Structure 1
Amino acid sequence: MRREFAMPDVGEGLTEAEVVTWHVAPGDTITVNQVIVEIETAKAAVELPSPYAGTVGALLVEPGQTVPVGAPIIAIETAEAGAPAPAAGDTAEEGAKIGEAGADGRIATLVGYGPRQGSVQRRPRRAPASAPPAPPKPDERGAGPDLPGESGVGAGEGARNGTSAGPVPLAKPPVRKLAKDLGVDLRSLAGTGAGGVITREDVTAAAAAPVAAASAPAPSAGGVRREPIRGVRKATAAAMVSSAFTAPHVTEFLAVDITETMALRDRLRDTRDYAEVRLTPLAFVAKAVCLAARRTPEVNASWDEAAGEIVYYDRVQLGIAAATPRGLIVPKVRDADTLTLRELAAALGELTATARAGRTLPADLVGGTFTITNVGVFGVDTGTPILNPGEAAILAVGAIKPMPWVVDGELAVRTVCQLALSFDHRLVDGEQGSRFLADVGALLTDPSLALTW
């Protein structure tokens, strides 16, 4: 019988994915859990296995095409007989439920990604951009859904936002205020939230679009090259625009003499314990961040706007910004504050290799509480990093180089590094941010302090 496999939700609420490469062709014989296609989501590249055994009937999506979750991507002729063919809606449900037991009792899982717990629900369809929702009746205003960060409002809000008469787009008052501040007409947007609700990300993306268009160079004889904005790059752009417009950034800088830390690294490299571990300066920075966060827990927290609360985390979920061929991603070292220096070095090496190979799992890209970005590997001294959405602080590590430095009143050549800490001023006061940055600098200047913290 003919079975259709739909684009699954590979985790973390993704709504679409791009088909990168097919590993099978029509007429090929395949088995359960055989990798059939590589897809790229907004978070990572993922290989999908087949939930069925049989013969490939047709490839329903071309490489390079972006497909919503639940849309059929491949037809497979199975050996099952006598069973009725699934309805079109059922095929999407089967694809979305990859990781659950099938009719034959076997479980099709993503390569390197375990089955999800509990049932899977289908997402509501997006409202078409050409058919905006009708305005609420006078007695229904203010009675719409109360979604976190987004909901409907009365028709009077449209006039206050400076928009023309007509159907009222669905958006929560804070989103409407943001649109007014940025000069964005909500009626020109198609909401990506549930039920077509316009979100903060929709507004900030629309505000950034005219800037990009205005800055484009005029055509010349040299020609131009265009690439679609998609995948990791699209997600990164939306996250950075959202962060820049929502969190009040403050950045502080500190030059640090890390001569003693580099000397310690050289000594440890010659020991048996570190013989098989690539010990980099980043491991020392990561350890210093985890120790300093104990004294300033505000940097390991998040701002919950909907609940009106600041959330403090007991463990440090440490994000490491990594440049990959697909763009910038930030995989996480889980519970980094519980790891020894050697364990941190090993975890950083594995994390970096996996990220550059494009095999970071979507689950490893979410849930961070603090981020380090190492701009020094590019020879850059410092910068002003932008916060990852939902995090209170991010530390940029500059290039490590010999520089003149005053030691005990005498001028000497020392190994120096620039640190730059950006933090969300809603959560972290200037005194707290300064103390944290000074603590990180002190631990890198004198690594023996780690024994007393």
Structure 2
Amino acid sequence: MNAEFRLPDLGEGLTEAEMVQWMVKPGDTVMLNQTLAEVETAKAVVELPSPYAGTVTSLHAEAGETIAVGAPLIAFDVDGEESGSAEPDSSDAEEKAQPNLVGYGAAPASSGRPARRARRGAAAASGSTVADAAVREAAPHDALPPTVAEPTVGERPRSTPPVRAHAKRRGVDLVLVAAEVGDRVITRSDVDAYADRVGAPASETASPSEAASAPATPRRPSGDRAQTRIPVKGVRKHTAQAMVKSAFSAPHVTTFHTVDVTATMELIEQFRADKSLAEHRIGPLVVIAKAVCLALSRNPSLNATWDEPAGEIIENHFVDLGIAAATDRGLIVPIIRDAESLSLTGMADALQQLTQTARSGKTGPADLSGGTFSITNIGVFGIDAGTPILPPGQSGILAVGAVRRQPWEYRGEIALRQMMTLSVSFDHRLVDGAEGSRFLKDVADILEQPGRAMLF
């Protein structure tokens, strides 16, 4: 009997998704909850587990195609017999079809919640995904052992989303790379080494991290007026829509303040030298996040939401702190829930986990929604200040500039101090200039004198 699986509701009001890659092909036998495909929504790359055990008969979408929620994705023969029916309608099919996790598959009428399987797929089409987040480079190819091993049949080559995207851009099949590197995670260097050896073309596009590590290439000839058209979709499309809506619905005001953070930087050095804190990565952003939570407790209007239909201002008594992250897929803002309840070490651990999840491409849609205040760290790009746009539904966002040593008045004399510029944008409908300035001054006071945190 034929059974059809349609693109499920992935939550958060998302109405469509892009097919990234199939993990199966017609003729493959799949198990219940086996990963069928990866799709990219406006917020994350999501794996779709199979709601059936049976044989794949047809695929209804190709990689790169945009599919609407409810559109057919894949058809199965759930009992090995062909039939004209497009939906399972027998008790035999119902026994094989099971409900899936919310946001990861169709939900037939049953109350079970099967565990999500590890990412595996028979005869996976390696290298046909898109980049999900920036990752650190691993060992160079020439440092690899000389022996190679054949990849396990039916198992997807071990790599990360950005590496698979890089392989796709260079036209490299990761199955062939896996045959050379053995049973370890494939790196970008492995892909480049293989591509250079077989004469594959260089990548047409590259992330900032790739561009920084790539060898210099000749400049294009004078008069070359070639263009590249990049479809606006996925995270980029969602971000563009959200930013336009925010910019033209909330009246933005941005206030700047230059802060002497020498005492904070010295405190961080003490933390780093303390062996008992070695497992906690306490850096400037961690201290700033803690300072923001403390300052919000004194300035609740910046941790509020403007409810237009109800004609109300909703002040939140908790802080779901968004941390903006620039990835190969675009800007995402994962959330640290109940950040106000975290100690400094707890904040460090939460931020580290958030970063690792984003880099591995595992940030889910639920982790990108519902923030009450956000921080964007533009200092990592060497930028001093900016005018950030509010995430939709939030009344405040803080931009953190670079730390620079510069002459500054200190105790009546000119001295070299470590300085930082903070920029806070706020919604002027519910935050007036005095409240925005008080919030920024409270954050600055904590960074100038970390001991002031004891007063909050």
Q: 1:390 to 1:105 in 2, by over 3 A?
A: closer
Cα shift at 1:7:
0.5
Shift of 1:270: 2.3
Query: Structure 1, residues 14-47: CA drift from partner, whole Å, max 9, x if none?
Result: 1100000111111111111111101000111111
Contact 1:15 1:68 in 2 (8 A): yes
Q: Which residue of 1 aligns with 2:27?
A: 27
Cα offset for 1:105? Answer: 7.3
Q: 1:273 to 1:72 in 2, by over 3 A?
A: farther
Give the partner amino acid of 1:59. Answer: L
User: Structure 2 vs 1, CA of residues 396 and 324 (structure 1 numbering), >3 Å: closer, same or farther?
Assistant: same
Amino acid at match of 1:375: I
Q: How far apart are 1:273 and its partner, in Å?
A: 3.8
| Mapped contact 2:247–2:389 kept (Cα < 8 A) | yes
> Which residue in 1 is equivalent to 2:151?
none
What is the CA–CA distance in structure 2 between the aligned matches of 1:346 and 1:433, rounded to whole Å? 29
Q: CA deviation at 1:89?
A: 12
In structure 2, relative to structure 1, the CA distance for the partners of 1:106 and 1:433 (3 Å cut) is: closer
User: Which residue in the other structure is 1:364 paired with?
Assistant: 367
Aligned partner of 2:251 in structure 1 is: 248
Rounded to whole Å, the distance in 2 between the matches of 1:424 and 1:108 is 43
2:392 to 385, 389, 392: 389
Instruction: Tell me the SS of whatever aligns to 1:244.
Output: helix
Q: Match of 2:380?
A: 377
TM-score, normalising length from structure 1?
0.72
Equivalent residues in 2 for 1:33-432, closer than 5 Å: 33-79=33-79, 85-87=85-87, 102=108, 107=113, 221-432=224-435
CA drift at 1:56: 1.3
C-alpha distance 374-25 of structure 1, shift in aligned 2 (>3 A): same
Assess if the C-alpha contact under 8 Å between 1:239 and 1:388 holds in 2.
yes
* Aligned residue type for 2:66: T
Q: What is the rounded CA distance, in whole Å, between the counterparts of 1:301 and 1:109 in structure 2?
A: 37
- The one-letter amino acid paired with 1:25 is K
Task: Report the Cα distance in structure 1 between the residues aligned to 2:249 and 2:19, rounded to whole angstroms.
Answer: 33
Cα distance in structure 2, aligned partners of 1:246 and 1:435:
24
CA RMSD of aligned residues (A): 2.7
Identical amino acids, percent of aligned pairs? 54
Deviation of residue 85 (structure 1)?
3.7
Deviations 1:174-209 (A, max 9, x none): xxxxxxxxxxxxxxxxxxxxxxxxxxxxxxxxxxxx
SS at match of 2:355: helix
- Offset of 1:100 from its aligned partner? 7.3
1:298–1:427 CA contact under 8 A, matched in 2: yes
One-letter amino acid of the structure 2 residue matched with residue 30 of structure 1: V
Q: Is the 8 A contact 2:260 2:418 kept in 1?
A: yes
Deviation, structure 1 residue 382? 0.6
SS, match of residue 306 in structure 2 = strand
SS of structure 1 residue aligned to 2:294:
helix
Gap runs ≥5 in structure 2: 94-98, 119-222
> Could you tell me which amino acid in structure 1 is paired with residue 333 of structure 2?
V
Q: 1:423 to 1:377 in 2, by over 3 A?
A: same
| Cα deviations by residue, 1:200-233 (Å, 9 ceiling, x for unpaired) | xxxxxxxxxxxxxxxxxxxx73200011100000
Q: Residue 277 of structure 2 aligns to a residue in which SS? A: coil
Provide the rounded CA distance (Å) in 1 between the counterparts of 2:304 and 2:453: 23
Q: Which whole-Å CA distance do the structure 2 matches of 1:110 and 1:54 have between them? A: 18
CA distance in 2, matches of 1:31, 1:87: 18
Mapped to 2, the partners of 1:97 and 1:244 lie a distance apart of 30
